[in-house]
Structure 1
Amino acid sequence: MLSPCRPQLRFISCSIILILLFQAGDTKRDLKSACSTCQQITENFNKGYDRTAKQNFGGGNTAWEERKLSKYETSEIRLMEILEDLCDSSSFECNRMVEEHEEQFETWWFKKKTKHPDLHEWFCIDTIKVCCPKGTFGPDCNGGSERPCHGNGVCDGDGTRGGNGKCSCDHAYKGEFCLDCVDGYFNQVRNDTFSLCTECDTSCKTCSGATNQDCDECKEGWEEDDQEACVDVNECAKEPSPCKEDQYCLNAEGSYSCNGCDEACTGCTGGGPDKCQACAEGYKDVEGTCTDIDECSQSEPACAKENQECVNNKGSFICICSSGYEEKDGECVQQSDEKESEALETTPEPHGEL
């Protein structure tokens, strides 16, 4: 009979595997971070070394101090001054690394510096083993290429004890080793160790050279002509037009745009009231340009009702009641005395001349 604990054990096993996977990912990130911290520490050490190059003990009889206390150049005092400025006070990882490995700095300073002048190599790579030589990665510093990803990308974990060595290619490059070109680029130079990707002509999706006759495939909006070159498609010359009735088409290289006609137009061939196919209601053609009709100036009154006034608008007009009248049931009737007096009170007095 199956034990009732089996499903629980299976769940626990899966949980442990997931935890280990997350820990493995964190370890890789930690190894990269540790190398970055160590790199910064050794760079700051070299800056401090240069900064203190011309200093001395700073008091009294320097010649006597050099004889009795050893030279400042190789002194513990100088070493301590350099170590004090390696990290910002807020950088926990940096300060912890310096504190944990202070003895190694002393060892290098007093015993190893002459034979191993590269502090980063001696400390970060060979001693505390958080970094690898450039072009290598991982716990065992695998790889060894002088140009990781052939100089066309970044190797995951390059120079650290983390990462998997996978290439993240630069723009224009692709492939496991960043030797191939993405669409829109071609290999101007290519061998087993070097690749130079150059951009195709604007008209090409893929190509073998730099001109529009070297296209293997045209981009959308371009087509092959009789000379087997990719040329622009003039979408605006097609019937029917790709644009709506109240729009005009504007061609561009490899594309087009639809733009709204002027309000004076019914259909148009371009922007402005002089490009109308026909004039909209309320407009008339005046020497090739659709111009507003002033309905209020016509011989026949536009506002036929009594006590109305006409106000012209672009392409239209409105009828309003004359001063002292108000609209009521579709007619302009005289305002009551009370409303008329209110209107007079709100009317500002004209200013006299000073």
Structure 2
Amino acid sequence: MIMFCTIDIIGHYTRVIFFQGLDKTKNQHFAGGNTYWEEKKLGKFITSETRLLEAMEYVCKKKYVQNWDKYKDIKNLEFKCMQLVEESEDNIENWYFHKQSSDPDILLWLCHGKLRLCCSEGHYGAECSPCPGVKQNVSVCSDHGSCQGDGSREGTGKCVCHKGYVGFMCSNCDANYYAVPNISVFTCNECHQSCKGGCFNSGPENCKECHTGWIMSDNHKCEDINECESENRCSGKHMKCHNLEGSYECVCEEGFVIDSKGNCKINVEASAEEMWIPPSRLLRSFSISSFCILISLVIWRRSLSLSIFATICALIILLIEFYFDHSSFFELSHYLL
């Protein structure tokens, strides 16, 4: 048997498609064409086995469901739906031929009553006991939580409260939350991040105490402490302190980026907006320009010594291009300037 933690949803899905199948076939008739003879010999089409078979062709096929998003979280839904239909085939036929007039909702008749796998919404457990709030004719768990086991034959019926709410009926605010005043619906909002131990209302001026990183001012307001005013907050090379709300962070100076070891290194990938000329392009332009000038001198003077010197320069340029760390050149120029 399918696990009943999802049987109510699967049953609802099955019911939706089954009734869509019935709806699509309600205005049809037997294929012969002689309606009077068909009804006299075969009975009315609306309660016939032929109509049931045609309606069952729609069952468990998600392409016939209009609001598919409601069921998308259940894996293998079509397979589980077919499992339920196959296991309940006799009961479905019994309902169709004998019970649909007195019990028009097949989900209630089959899953809730006959198979005893489900409970109505707002009920839980073996006896379908009411969830907190149902007897009082108010929303289950004050609409701020969910009843454990709601709709199934299992569960404790306890309220699992949403974030910020606590209590038997989720009708109180959790620590560091406050009840919003002067509104008709009970709502809990989170206190300001500077508050510690709760607050009276919104904002840093309504805190009971201040968290680390804030200090209570004379006008009873939690104000941010600027940790960057203290010395040696960020002592790393090319690092500077950046103040945050309630804290601070160490960041690299402009033109530097942090590496995997937490140190600041030259940003060789800096964009043109950050640097006039990237160091790699500057070094390459300098070496190629120098080599072109040297070649021009060799051609002009036709000197053997200059030819040898040009060859050596070419090798040096290749060495710089493929083996030299461009960032170190930029770092050297950074210190020289």
Corresponding residue for residue 206 of structure 2: 214
Percent identity of paired positions between Structure 1 and Structure 2: 35
Assess if the C-alpha contact under 8 Å between 1:187 and 1:195 holds in 2. Answer: yes
CA-CA distance at 1:226 after TM superposition: 0.8
Assess if the C-alpha contact under 8 Å between 1:139 and 1:161 holds in 2. Answer: yes
Q: Given the superposition, is the C-alpha separation of residues 75 and 227 from structure 1 closer, same or farther in structure 2, using an over 3 Å criterion? A: same
CA-CA distance at 1:235 after TM superposition: 2.1
In 1, the alpha carbon distance for the partners of 2:52 and 2:26 equals: 11
What one-letter code is carried by the residue in structure 1 that aligns with 2:146?
Answer: V
What one-letter code is carried by the residue in structure 1 that aligns with 2:25?
Answer: T
What one-letter code is carried by the residue in structure 2 that aligns with 1:197?
Answer: C
Q: Given the superposition, is the C-alpha separation of residues 60 and 258 from structure 1 closer, same or farther in structure 2, using an over 3 Å criterion? A: same
Q: Given the superposition, is the C-alpha separation of residues 55 and 201 from structure 1 closer, same or farther in structure 2, using an over 3 Å criterion? A: farther
CA-CA distance at 1:172 after TM superposition: 2.4
For structure 1, list consecutive stretches of 5 or more residues without a partner in the other structure. Answer: 1-26, 265-311, 314-319, 325-333, 348-354
The 3-state SS of whatever aligns with 1:198 is strand
Greater CA drift, 249-258 or 334-343: 334-343
- Residue among 229, 239, 246 paired with 1:254: 246
Deviations 1:150-173, CA, capped at 9 Å, x for gaps: 322222221011233343322322
CA-CA distance at 1:336 after TM superposition: 10
- Residue among 69, 81, 86 paired with 2:54: 81
Equivalent residues in 2 for 1:1-354, closer than 5 Å: 30-88=3-61, 91-145=78-132, 146=134, 147-188=139-180, 195-205=186-196, 206-236=198-228, 238-244=229-235, 246-262=238-254
Assess if the C-alpha contact under 8 Å between 1:174 and 1:182 holds in 2. Answer: yes
Assess if the C-alpha contact under 8 Å between 2:141 and 2:159 holds in 1. Answer: yes
Q: How many residues align?
A: 252
In 2, the alpha carbon distance for the partners of 1:337 and 1:188 equals: 86
Assess if the C-alpha contact under 8 Å between 1:39 and 1:124 holds in 2. Answer: no
In 2, the alpha carbon distance for the partners of 1:227 and 1:249 equals: 28
Which gives a bigger RCO, structure 1 or 2 (Cα 8 Å, sep 6+)? 2
CA-CA distance at 1:176 after TM superposition: 4.8
Assess if the C-alpha contact under 8 Å between 1:184 and 1:207 holds in 2. Answer: yes
In 1, the alpha carbon distance for the partners of 2:245 and 2:131 equals: 47
Counting helix residues as a fraction of each chain, which structure ranks higher? 2
Assess if the C-alpha contact under 8 Å between 2:22 and 2:55 holds in 1. Answer: yes
Q: Given the superposition, is the C-alpha separation of residues 129 and 256 from structure 1 closer, same or farther in structure 2, using an over 3 Å criterion? A: same
Counting strand residues as a fraction of each chain, which structure ranks higher? 1
The 3-state SS of whatever aligns with 1:30 is coil
Q: Given the superposition, is the C-alpha separation of residues 44 and 341 from structure 1 closer, same or farther in structure 2, using an over 3 Å criterion? A: closer
CA-CA distance at 1:59 after TM superposition: 4.2
CA-CA distance at 1:140 after TM superposition: 1.9
In 2, the alpha carbon distance for the partners of 1:263 and 1:111 equals: 82
For structure 2, list consecutive stretches of 5 or more residues without a partner in the other structure. Answer: 63-75, 257-281, 284-289, 296-304, 319-337
The 3-state SS of whatever aligns with 1:31 is coil
Root-mean-square deviation (Å): 3.9
The 3-state SS of whatever aligns with 1:133 is coil
CA-CA distance at 1:340 after TM superposition: 5.2
Corresponding residue for residue 267 of structure 2: none
